[in-house]
Amino acid sequence: MNSHSTLPMTMQHEPTADLTNGLAKERPIAMRERPSSPVYDQLLWRLQAAYDANDQTAYALGLLGFAPKSGSTTIAANLALRAAEQDCGPVLLIETNWHAPQIASRWGLAPQPGAAQLLAGAADLAECAQPGPVERLHVVPAGCISRSRQPRVDAGATREMMAEARVDYRLILVDLPPAEQLRQELALARHLDQALLVVRAESARTGDAQDIVRQLKQDGVPLAGAVLNRHRNYLPAWLRRRM
C-alpha cells in the first residue's frame, strides 16, 4: 500500500447534506472535513435503510457537482472510506469525473485501466478495480488518457458492469461529472438507485439550481437530494458553543 494513500481528501469549510426529495427542505447535516467525522456516519445511517432494503444486491449512489469544483469527488471518496471502515462493504468507488480526475494521484493508484476503459467495454471490472487505502474498499479511477478527449461510454458495457458490481459489492459510490458536463455518463447515472447533487455554498442561485434539478430528473437521473459544500459559518465559535 502506498504510504500516502491513507491521507484523507479534505474539504474546505463545512459541507452540509440533505437527503430529501428536493433542495433544502429540512435542516441539513453539518459535515466535517475528515472521513472519520461522525457526520459521515450520520449520512451513512440515512442511506442504510435504502441499501438494507434488499440484501441480495448492492445499493448504488452517485454524487455530482452542480458546477465544476463543487467538491463531489472529495465527498464521494471520504464517504467510501468511512463506509468501508464502518463495515458497510465491500464498497466500490467509481470515478467518472473525466474533466478533473483526482483519485489515482491522491491515493497512489495506477491511473489505468479505469472507468474510461471499463465503460467503453475495453476492460472488465476485475481488471479495473484496485484495492483502496482501507480494507474492503475497491477503487476504479477515471482512467482518462487526456482531459481534452473524453472517453466513450457504451450503454451495454455499462449495464453489464453495474450488474456484476451489484453482485460483488454491498455499496457502490459513483463520482459523476458536474451536472452541466453530464452527457454520455447518463448511461451510468440511470442505473443508480439515487444521486446527490453537490452545491458549493454561495455559488449557485436558487433558480439555476432548480433548473439543474429539473433537467436531471427529466434525463432519468434518480436525484434524491443535495449536499451543500463549503458552507461558511458566520457565527463566532464562542457563540456557537452556547447555542
Q: Which three cell numbers stand for residue 24?
A: 433544502
**Distances, alpha carbon 34 to alpha carbons 38, 78, 110, 113, 131, in Å:** 9, 7, 24, 28, 20
Length of the chain: 243
Q: Residue 35 — very low, low, confident or very high, per pLDDT cuts 50/70/90?
A: low
Task: Provide the mean pLDDT of the chain.
Answer: 78
DSSP assignment of 46-67 equals HHHHHHHS-TTS-EEEEEEESS
97-108: b (≥16 Cβ within 10 Å) or e: bbebbbbbebbe
What's the angle, vertex CA 8, arms to CA 174 and CA 148, rounded to 5? 50
Give 38's contacts (C-beta < 8 A, 6+ positions apart). Answer: none
* Structural domains of the chain, with CATH: 14-242 (3.40.50.300)
Confidence (pLDDT) at 36? 57
Comparing 232 with 106, the larger pLDDT belongs to 106
- Residue 7: pLDDT above 50? no
Q: Residue 219 — very low, low, confident or very high, per pLDDT cuts 50/70/90?
A: very high
Confidence (pLDDT) at 201? 65
pLDDT in tens, 135-168: 999 999 999 766 667 788 999 999 999 999 999 9
Q: Which three cell numbers stand for residue 226?
A: 443535495
